[in-house]
Amino acid sequence: MAGTIQCKRMVEESDIVLIQRVMVEEGLAQAKFWHDRGKSLAITCDDSYWRIGHGEESGNAASAFWHEGEVEVSYPGGGSFKKSLAKHPLQQFYEGIAAYCSGAIMPSRILRDELQWCLPCYYIPNYIDAPRYLKERNKRKADPDNLIVGWGGSMSHMNSFRKSGVAEALRRVFIQRKNVHFLLCGDKRIMNLLPLPKDRVTYQPYVTWSDWPKVFSKFDISLAPLAGIYDGSRSAIKMTEASIMGIPIVASASPPYKDYIESGVGLYPCNDDDDPKTQPARADAWEKSLLDIIDNYDYHKQKIDGQFDYAMKWDVDANVKRIVDVYQRVIDGRRQTDDGAVE
């Protein structure tokens, strides 16, 4: 974005440029600069910006920008004010990627399908840097008297807890099982959605990507609740991390986890419906699965350990050819069908 000499030299020598930057204003200016010089550009998306609702409903920190079209402008001496952009960010995004990008790459089949109207879209799963995680795999043994249920993420997952039924299920489980502790990582405000005894909840602030595997290794049981279509367009990263670390996981049966569901990795007590009328049934299902995994922990641990070969299929080094093939399709302007074939 700074346009340094070193950066320009590297981009000039590249066959394809991946844009991991929001495509508005400054991002668009840089994209136009390289598009006009004949470069193949691919925007990488991992969020359905068009589905981010009002902040009070979604809890998403980006809602003011993507939903209301507002930015916060700060004064040099302190203070700030909100300003509405002359052109809404979504309109900038759509027009910009259509004008300057040869394709879009996303770790979600739903995102790929929903943005196809704008430009060619390609699905690349959120492959994992396995060695970074394997260093921490099975470093600690679970204590049956103090099982750690863990989750990490941002406030964009507020509705994942509000609507999935998992919060109510956790409340019941913590009443019935005194050997369970909760480890919350990331945004502390999620704590307000967890009706759990405070002395059995530990908060871990955000850490760098390099330190995350160390934190994740503290989980004995991992959670991946999702609710609704916005959540349904996320990636499968939580399943990928848990399976490669050998950590039993309970998740919503949501589209991102399709491959893992079909392969029998993890427990899926219910779908990712966000209808308030069916939430009690989802809470019942979550409760049943959590009690099962707590009471039969050794069985579930052995099961996911036995699925290690499947987990390693999502290692990034095992998928270099597939990634390069997608890059070549972007350069050649060929679309990818659902089965990976070229149109």
The tens digit of pLDDT for each residue in 121-173 reads: 999 999 999 999 999 999 989 999 999 999 999 988 989 999 999 999 999 99
Question: Comparing C-alpha atoms, which of 56, 52, 36 is closest to residue 88?
Answer: 52
| Token representation of residue 111 | 């995102």
- The predicted pLDDT at position 342 comes to 44
pLDDT band at 337 (very low <50, low <70, confident <90, very high): low
Burial string for 178-202 (b: 16+ CB within 10 Å, else e) reads: eebbbbbbbbeebeebbebeeeebe
| Token representation of residue 85 | 């952009």
Mean pLDDT of 268-283: 95
Is 80 exceeded by the pLDDT of residue 340? Answer: no
Return the domain boundaries, the chain. 7-51+89-127+317-332, 130-314
pLDDT band at 224 (very low <50, low <70, confident <90, very high): very high
- The predicted pLDDT at position 81 comes to 81
| Torsion-angle region of 323 (φ positive above 0: left; ψ -120 to 50: alpha; else: beta) | alpha
| R_g of the chain computed on alpha carbons | 22
Q: Which pTM value belongs to this model?
A: 0.90
What CATH topology corresponds to 130-314?
Rossmann fold (3.40.50)
Pairing assessment for the beta strands 249-251 and 221-224 based on DSSP bridges: parallel
What does residue 202 show for φ and ψ, rounded to 5 degrees?
-115, 135
pLDDT band at 343 (very low <50, low <70, confident <90, very high): very low
Secondary structure string (H, E, C) spanning 252-283: CECHHHHHHHHCCCCECCCECCCCHHHHHHHH
H runs (alpha helix) in 36-185: 55-58, 63-66, 89-100, 109-114, 130-134, 158-164, 166-176
